[in-house]
Amino acid sequence: MKKSHIATLIVFLAVIPATLVLGSRLPGRAYYVTSTLVIVELLIPFFLAFEGRRPQARELVLLAVMCALAVAGRVAIPVPGFKAIFAVIMIAGIAFGPESGFLVGAVSALASNFFYSQGPYTPWQMMAYGAGGMLAGFLFAKNLLPRKPVVMGLFGFLAVAFFVGPLLDTCSVFLVLSKISLKGAMAFYVSGFAVNVNQAIATAAVLLLLGKPLLEKLDRVKTKYGILAVEEGSGHP
Amino acid sequence: MTSDAFSNRHPAVNFLFFLGAIGFAVLIQHPAYLIAGALGAAAYYLLLSGRKGWKRIGMLVPMFLLLTAVNPLFNTYGERVLFHVFGRPYTLEALLYGGAIAGVFVVMMLWFGCYNAVMTSDKFTSLFGNLIPALSLLLVMVLRMIPGFIRKAGQITLARRAIGLGAGEKNRDKIRHGMGVLSALTDWALEGSVVTGDSMRARGYGSGRRTSFQIYTMKRGDWCLLAVLMFLAAAVIAVSAMGATAAEFTPVLSIAPVSGIYALGFAAYCAYLLIPSVLHLKEELQWRRSRSKI
Amino acid sequence: MAQIEIQNLTFSYPSGRSALSDVNLTIHRGEYVVLWGKSGSGKTTLLRHLKTVLTPYGKRSGEILLDGVPLTELSQREQAGKIGFVMQNPDDQIVTDKVWHELAFGLESLGCDQKTMRARVAEMACYFGIQDWFHRDVANLSGGQKQLLNLASIMAMQPEVLILDEPTSQLDPIAASDFLNTLRKINTELGTTVIITEHRIEDIFPYADRAVMMDGGRVIADDAPRATAEHLWSSGSGMFSAMPTPVRVFYGAGGTGECPLTVREGRNWLSRAFPEPPKHTALPERGNAEPAECALSMKEVWFRYEKDSPDVLRGVTAEVPRGCLYAIVGGNGAGKSTMLKAVCGTCRPYRGKIRVFGRPVEKTPNLFQGCLAMLPQDPKSLFVGKTVLEDLREMTRDEELLAKTAALCQITPLLQSHPYDLSGGEQQRAALAKVLLTQPKLLLLDEPTKGIDCFFKETFAGILAKLKAEGITIVMVSHDVEFCARYADWVSMFFDGQILTTDTPRRFFGANSFYTTAANRMSRHVFQNAVTAEDVIALCRKNREDTP
């Protein structure tokens, strides 16, 4: 068994349960600390797997390009509130598979915050953005869904409106509510919904219009240089 | 970026300090500790950012009030009912608890403000360069590419505008043209990535074990400072385990007194928080003195 | 003993295209070898074979030995350390975000310990004069600094052989000659073997030990520079036009004795050729047509980027007559590109008037349709599509116009290629075609000759001449004084945010003594207004015909 696999098992079977138990014992209000610790612990296996893979130069560069594109997309489309970041992360997931999708999402979030501001939400963003990329990777790179613009657009909308967005709202819930209750949490999800839908529309628009051309561009580079040809059997036909 | 007596210390010292300061801030809801945290964080934040700092602090005040006021709406525990909202009790205890949570939030935001000024990206990556080499190299590469991509996006926008492919004022137009820019940027970036990859391999990347160049070294002073920080943190944790930081708001208000050995713990906490500010002021004082001597 | 030995190297790409055929080459320790030829002659392919990790996929035979050992038997690590490789684009080669980190990158990859890395990085920073910007973000460096950093970070690994693939093609002339001087210093002071390909042959040729010339994947000449020049002239090769100006003048004017390679040698040779002041010292002015109406006029244009930043344009005044090629020369960062942006209306001047065909820019509706267009400095900024054709179709549905423009720009055979698979010169022409599809009457060019070799420059100049014949006015800003002297109708000097002087190339460069062409610098003590090699040759011939 690979070292990174062992580490993953340890994280899931020992570290996370331990954190949860300890968190519930902590005095006062430890939701935020506990949940954030769990989030960080969930990131660890992904990162260790990446380290264990000893990525080649070209793979590393391509992932870096996708992350930087995700962050710089804001400048390319200078419309306030229109974020291309989720769409670019999802395209990375579709092109390179779930693991890379996750990595691109997590690193984009972290890097983007270096240019804006790190905060208590950073680990949550890393997790949420990464999860978006990973989901796209699972569904498209493994050919569960066809890579058609409409399908990708619809996926992008649903994933952001009902998965990535709410995940980010959860951070706020843990951060500012003194007593976690279903009602209190719902208040956050409902009030965040409008923003999430807005971003979901942006994501859908980018995937609809740019999904296919961008994937073709990535495919061209991949075949031209024979990189990342197969990642865990996620190669496409 | 910001450079002061504290941020000039080894990144590990900086990082561990913030880990402690933010960790304590989140876990301890004891009012005395919260107030100390707010003052300590605000002091250092103002020292780092000068006048601009007041603006951010000013923005945090309404945030604090809002969060304080909103929390009792979702938390109806407590004995002293102030009034009813939608038929639900709005209690003093819940309000105070809300205040504590809002306080935690404000202190955290202030410390993050300091963190952003002190822990620059190169410190962060060099700190993790040994621990997670591939990932921190990836991050370094991303940070290197972003300014270049932003510049290129600007060039592409201008180039396209100068052949009549520019956007009008409508958002719809801007989005459509923005997509063209993003598409062109992707091509350019991918092509450049191939060269970057070649350049890495030409310089031996992937030829075997890699080391990580440490531009920062732990000096004696750094070790000393780290030892002091560790000692103070240990003291806080110790008294906290004894119950010094216990604070219950609902259903009944019960807050540990700050006296006897508990007072020592509180003093240690204050000392911990003030270290960056003290270092900063000490250096400033030294400069003034050496200048006045000339 | 030979350091590098290439024996019967033949290579073809998977597509079947043959790139190298039967190349034999021996390079000795400490030699400075310049490798040159047209683009597509196999220079880059050959260089890449000297570094296994960069070698392209394909069919190959023959062998390459480094110190008698086949390259393929060396470990990747040994190769990385022994052979340094600098590429063309200064930006893309940089991997990390800080100067200090970039310097250490190669050493990190080789697994050096902290102590060694510290010493080497410090050593390199001092040798290359990098101390002052050691802690900077690479994003804030100039192109010249970036390329110097690339060189330094490779030298930190202490290579025995340094290979450079057109390292200065993206740099401005001053940065380029700084870079080449540093390279010469490395070669003479450290004895590092240097193998370089380069467009700017004038700066290298005189100092190289050997000039190896390639054509169609073969080595067609391999000798000392002077002997190569002689060989090219006598064989009537088309490659001769890439030779430095003094060489072209010498052979073109039928000189005798030792061929001059530098401007100094050229001057001395002319002094010997004309011991007495010659009869004809000036050429007639090229017949400029009557001053036509103004295509572009700028009056007292002032501009700055931020409210409290310094002015970039400080009262620019210029009048560009219709139907001419108007060149604006001047140093880096003087504001030339900003001036073009102001004409395009993307920078709004806070004072002054810019008129295009008599109408104020800001009041012209559809300025970029059938009126004004600009070719950006980096042609890649315009490519979006999968093929050149797709890119052109972004501009027009008119197939006839498209075909005509493609033919004019000589890109018809390239229409189905991906824009990024083209060479620099071809990309330039494809981008020009895209720009021309807006059917502009006034065409702006920003550094159009950057990074393209002299053969592509000639083709490009031919296209510009055709455009002029169609009545299109062309304004270009450039560092390339040789190109401006040869092809422009008017030349302006841009300095300190203003246009200082404007004149015909002969009068303009004839009046300058530093900022002028090589031909003028080597002949100005004898002739008055010879600014190109052709001018000098013509005057030499004319004088000779008149002397019995």
Structure confidence at residue C459 (pLDDT)? 93
Q: How far is B20 from chain C (nearest CA, A)?
A: 29
Is residue A216 within 8 angstroms of chain C, CB to CB?
yes
Contact present, B106 and B66 (Cβ < 8 Å): no
Q: How far is A131 from chain C (nearest CA, A)?
A: 27
Contact present, C306 and C312 (Cβ < 8 Å): no
Instruction: Give a yes or no: residue B210 inside a domain.
Output: no
Contact present, C521 and C265 (Cβ < 8 Å): no
Do residues C376 and C393 both lie within one domain?
A: yes
pLDDT in tens, C218-240: 998 899 999 999 998 998 888 88
Q: Are residues C77 and B163, on separate chains, in Cβ contact within 8 Å?
A: no
Minimal Cα distance from C163: which residue of B? B202
Query: What ipTM is given for this predicted complex?
Result: 0.91
Is residue B134 within 8 angstroms of chain C, CB to CB?
no
C18-28 and C32-36 beta bridge pairing: unpaired
Do residues A153 and A192 both lie within one domain?
A: yes
Do residues A141 and A206 both lie within one domain?
A: yes
Do residues A64 and A28 both lie within one domain?
A: no
Structure confidence at residue C40 (pLDDT)? 82
Q: Which domain holds residue B161?
A: 128-202
Report the C-alpha gap between A203 and B175 in whole angstroms: 12
Interface contacts (A, B; CB < 8 Å): 201
Do residues B157 and B266 both lie within one domain?
A: no
Chain A positions in Cβ-Cβ contact with residue B247 (cut-off 8 Å): 28
pLDDT at B250 over 80: no
Q: Which of B176, B183, B196, B203 to mutate to test the interface with C (most CBs of C within 10 A)?
A: B203
Report the C-alpha gap between B13 and B1 in whole angstroms: 18
pLDDT in tens, B167-197: 777 888 889 899 999 999 999 999 999 999 9
Contact present, C153 and C103 (Cβ < 8 Å): yes
Report the C-alpha gap between B256 and B244 in whole angstroms: 6
User: What are φ and ψ of residue B266, in 5° steps?
Assistant: -65, -40
Of C87, C112, C138, the CB nearest to B195: C87
CATH of the domain at C157: 3.40.50.300
Chain B positions in Cβ-Cβ contact with residue C346 (cut-off 8 Å): 158, 161-162
What is the average per-residue pLDDT within C26-51?
Answer: 91
Report the C-alpha gap between B82 and B78 in whole angstroms: 10
Q: Are residues A216 and C386, on separate chains, in Cβ contact within 8 Å?
A: yes
User: What are φ and ψ of residue C163, in 5° steps?
Assistant: -115, 130
- Residue where one domain finishes, among candidates A13, A32, A54: A54
Of B121, B184, B205, the CB nearest to C383: B184
Please list, residue by residue across A125-137, b when 16 or more beta carbons sit within 10 angstroms of its beta carbon and e when fewer do.
Answer: bbbbbbbbbbbbb
Chain A positions in Cβ-Cβ contact with residue B181 (cut-off 8 Å): 76-77
pLDDT at B75 over 90: no
Is residue B85 within 8 angstroms of chain C, CB to CB?
no
Do residues C298 and C282 both lie within one domain?
A: no
Do residues A48 and A101 both lie within one domain?
A: no
Do residues C475 and C330 both lie within one domain?
A: yes
Q: Are residues B201 and C420, on separate chains, in Cβ contact within 8 Å?
A: no
Average model confidence (pLDDT) for chain B? Answer: 90
Q: Which of A61, A126, A208, A218 to mutate to test the interface with B (most CBs of B within 10 A)?
A: A61
Match 């970070």 to its residue by tokens.
Answer: C153
What is the average per-residue pLDDT within B141-159?
Answer: 94
Do residues A49 and A135 both lie within one domain?
A: no
Confidence category of residue B287, pLDDT binned at 50, 70, 90 = confident
Whether this prediction's pTM lies above 0.80 is answered by: yes
Instruction: Give a yes or no: residue A235 inside a domain.
Output: no
Do residues A50 and A110 both lie within one domain?
A: no
What is the average per-residue pLDDT within C138-150?
Answer: 94
Contact present, C47 and C64 (Cβ < 8 Å): no
Do residues B109 and B167 both lie within one domain?
A: no
CA atoms within 13 A on the CB side of C38: 17
Q: How far is A233 from chain B (nearest CA, A)?
A: 22
Do residues C126 and C223 both lie within one domain?
A: yes
Instruction: Give a yes or no: residue A234 inside a domain.
Output: no
CA atoms within 13 A on the CB side of B259: 3
Q: How far is C87 from chain B (nearest CA, A)?
A: 8
C32-36 and C2-12 beta bridge pairing: unpaired
* DSSP H stretches of helix in C385-469: 388-393, 399-408, 424-436, 454-469
Do residues C409 and C540 both lie within one domain?
A: no
pLDDT in tens, A16-63: 888 888 877 776 567 788 888 888 988 988 888 888 888 888 889 999
Do residues B65 and B93 both lie within one domain?
A: yes
Instruction: Give a yes or no: residue B142 inside a domain.
Output: yes
Q: How far is CA C544 from CA C236, C254, C257, C523, in A?
A: 23, 10, 17, 16
Minimal Cα distance from A219: which residue of C? C386
Instruction: Give a yes or no: residue B4 inside a domain.
Output: no
Q: Are residues B148 and C139, on separate chains, in Cβ contact within 8 Å?
A: yes
Whole-angstrom distance between the N-terminal and C-terminal Cα of chain C?
54
C325-329 and C351-356 beta bridge pairing: unpaired
Tell me which residues of chain C, numbers 33 to 92, contact chain B at a CB-CB cutoff of 8 Å: 51, 53-54, 75-77, 80-81, 84-85, 87, 89, 91-92
Do residues A46 and A124 both lie within one domain?
A: no
| Measured CA angle at A110 (ends A109, A114), to 5 deg | 115
Q: How far is CA A159 from CA A91, A106, A201, C359, C419, in A?
A: 13, 16, 11, 52, 35
Q: What element of type H or E holds A49?
A: helix A31-53
Window from A147-156, C303-312, C462-471 with minimum mean pLDDT? C303-312
CA atoms within 13 A on the CB side of A112: 27
Minimal Cα distance from C57: which residue of A? A225
And the tokens for C530?
A: 């010879």
Do residues B188 and B263 both lie within one domain?
A: no
Task: Give the other-Cβ count within 10 Å of C234's Cβ.
Answer: 10
pLDDT at A237 over 50: no
Match 């601009």 to its residue by tokens.
Answer: B52
Contact present, C139 and C97 (Cβ < 8 Å): yes
Structure confidence at residue C289 (pLDDT)? 59
Of A57, A84, A110, the CB nearest to B201: A57
Instruction: Give chain C's domain count.
Output: 3
And the tokens for A230?
A: 């197969």
Is residue B294 within 8 angstroms of chain C, CB to CB?
no
C2-12 and C59-66 beta bridge pairing: antiparallel
Report the C-alpha gap between B203 and B137 in whole angstroms: 15
Structure confidence at residue C276 (pLDDT)? 86
What is the average per-residue pLDDT within B130-155?
Answer: 93
Do residues B15 and B120 both lie within one domain?
A: yes
Average model confidence (pLDDT) for chain A? Answer: 86
Of A47, A115, A183, the CB nearest to B132: A47
Chain A positions in Cβ-Cβ contact with residue C418 (cut-off 8 Å): 220
Do residues C20 and C161 both lie within one domain?
A: yes
* DSSP H stretches of helix in C50-162: 76-82, 99-109, 114-127, 143-155
Q: Are residues A216 and C57, on separate chains, in Cβ contact within 8 Å?
A: no
Which residue did the predictor score with more confidence, A226 or B32? Answer: B32
Confidence category of residue A231, pLDDT binned at 50, 70, 90 = very low
Is residue C57 within 8 angstroms of chain A, CB to CB?
yes
Instruction: Give a yes or no: residue A71 inside a domain.
Output: yes
Do residues A28 and A81 both lie within one domain?
A: no
C218-223 and C294-303 beta bridge pairing: unpaired
Q: Which of B34, B146, B150, B155 to mutate to test the interface with A (most CBs of A within 10 A)?
A: B146
DSSP output for B84-153: EETTEEEEHHHHHHHHHHHHHHHHHHHHHHHHHHHS-HHHHHHHHTTTSHHHHHHHHHHHHHHHHHHHHH
Q: Are residues A226 and C386, on separate chains, in Cβ contact within 8 Å?
A: no
Instruction: Give a yes or no: residue A232 inside a domain.
Output: no
DSSP output for chain B: ----TTTTS-HHHHHHHHHHHHHHHHH---HHHHHHHHHHHHHHHHHHHTHHHHHHHHHHHHHHHHHHHHHHHH----SSEEEEETTEEEEHHHHHHHHHHHHHHHHHHHHHHHHHHHS-HHHHHHHHTTTSHHHHHHHHHHHHHHHHHHHHHHHHHHHHHTTT----SSHHHHHHHHHHHHHHHHHHHHHHHHHHHHHHHHTTTTSS------S----HHHHHHHHHHHHHHHHHHHHHHTTTT-EE-SSS-EE----THHHHHHHHHHHHHHHHHHHHHHHHHHHHHHHHH-
> Hey, what amino acid is at A219?
D
Q: C50 Cβ partners below 8 Å, 6+ apart?
A: C4, C64, C71, C83, C85, C161, C163, C195
Of B143, B196, B200, the CB nearest to C97: B143
Q: Are residues A226 and C57, on separate chains, in Cβ contact within 8 Å?
A: yes
Please name the chains neighbouring B, where neighbouring means 3+ C-beta pairs under 8 angstroms.
A, C
C279 φψ region: left (φ > 0), alpha (ψ -120 to 50), beta (else): alpha
Do residues A60 and A39 both lie within one domain?
A: no
pLDDT in tens, A181-193: 888 888 889 988 9
Do residues C529 and C501 both lie within one domain?
A: no
pLDDT in tens, C48-101: 999 988 888 888 899 999 999 999 899 888 888 899 999 999 999 999 999 999
Q: Are residues C418 and A220, on separate chains, in Cβ contact within 8 Å?
A: yes
Tell me, rounded to whole angstroms, the distance of Cα B236 from its chain centroid: 21
Q: How far is A142 from chain B (nearest CA, A)?
A: 24
Do residues B168 and B180 both lie within one domain?
A: yes
Do residues A61 and A114 both lie within one domain?
A: yes
Do residues C351 and C493 both lie within one domain?
A: yes
Do residues B90 and B16 both lie within one domain?
A: yes
Structure confidence at residue C286 (pLDDT)? 66
Report the C-alpha gap between B131 and A51 in whole angstroms: 10
Report the C-alpha gap between C308 and C303 in whole angstroms: 11
Chain B positions in Cβ-Cβ contact with residue C438 (cut-off 8 Å): 163-164
> Hey, what amino acid is at B36?
A
Report the C-alpha gap between A232 and C406 in whole angstroms: 44
Contact present, C144 and C130 (Cβ < 8 Å): no
User: What are φ and ψ of residue C325, in 5° steps?
Assistant: -105, 115
Do residues C272 and C324 both lie within one domain?
A: no
Q: How far is A152 from chain B (nearest CA, A)?
A: 16
Chain B positions in Cβ-Cβ contact with residue A99 (cut-off 8 Å): none
Q: Are residues C344 and B162, on separate chains, in Cβ contact within 8 Å?
A: yes
Do residues C217 and C93 both lie within one domain?
A: yes
Instruction: Give chain B's domain count.
Output: 2
Please list, residue by residue across A166-179, b when 16 or more beta carbons sit within 10 angstroms of its beta carbon and e when fewer do.
Answer: bbbbbbbbbbbbbb
Instruction: Give chain A's domain count.
Output: 2
Nearest to A133 by CA among A179, A167, A177, A164: A164
Is residue A220 within 8 angstroms of chain C, CB to CB?
yes
Q: Which domain holds residue A218?
A: 55-225
Contact present, C52 and C63 (Cβ < 8 Å): no
Do residues A117 and A180 both lie within one domain?
A: yes
CATH of the domain at A219: 1.10.1760.20
Which residue did the predictor score with more confidence, C108 or C38? Answer: C108
Do residues B177 and B276 both lie within one domain?
A: no
Do residues A188 and A87 both lie within one domain?
A: yes
Residue C63: strand pairing partners? C7
Do residues B196 and B54 both lie within one domain?
A: no
Chain A positions in Cβ-Cβ contact with residue C386 (cut-off 8 Å): 213, 216, 220
* CA atoms C354, C358, C361, C362: torsion sign: positive
Q: Which domain holds residue C138?
A: 2-239
Q: Which of C54, C87, C97, C420 to mutate to test the interface with A (most CBs of A within 10 A)?
A: C420
Structure confidence at residue A132 (pLDDT)? 95
Please name the chains neighbouring C, where neighbouring means 3+ C-beta pairs under 8 angstroms.
A, B
Please name the chains neighbouring A, where neighbouring means 3+ C-beta pairs under 8 angstroms.
B, C
Instruction: Give a yes or no: residue A108 inside a domain.
Output: yes
Interface contacts (A, C; CB < 8 Å): 5
Q: How far is A184 from chain C (nearest CA, A)?
A: 44
pLDDT in tens, C242-251: 899 999 999 9
Do residues C312 and C184 both lie within one domain?
A: no
Instruction: Give a yes or no: residue B28 inside a domain.
Output: yes
In chain C, % of residues over pLDDT 90: 66
Nearest to B202 by CA among C451, C157, C536: C157
Of B161, B199, B211, the CB nearest to C346: B161
Task: Give the other-Cβ count within 10 Å of C417's Cβ.
Answer: 16
DSSP output for A113-126: HHHS---TTHHHHH
Tell me, rounded to whole angstroms, the distance of Cα C18 from its chain centroid: 27
Nearest to B35 by CA among B235, B275, B270, B217: B270
Minimal Cα distance from B242: which residue of A? A27
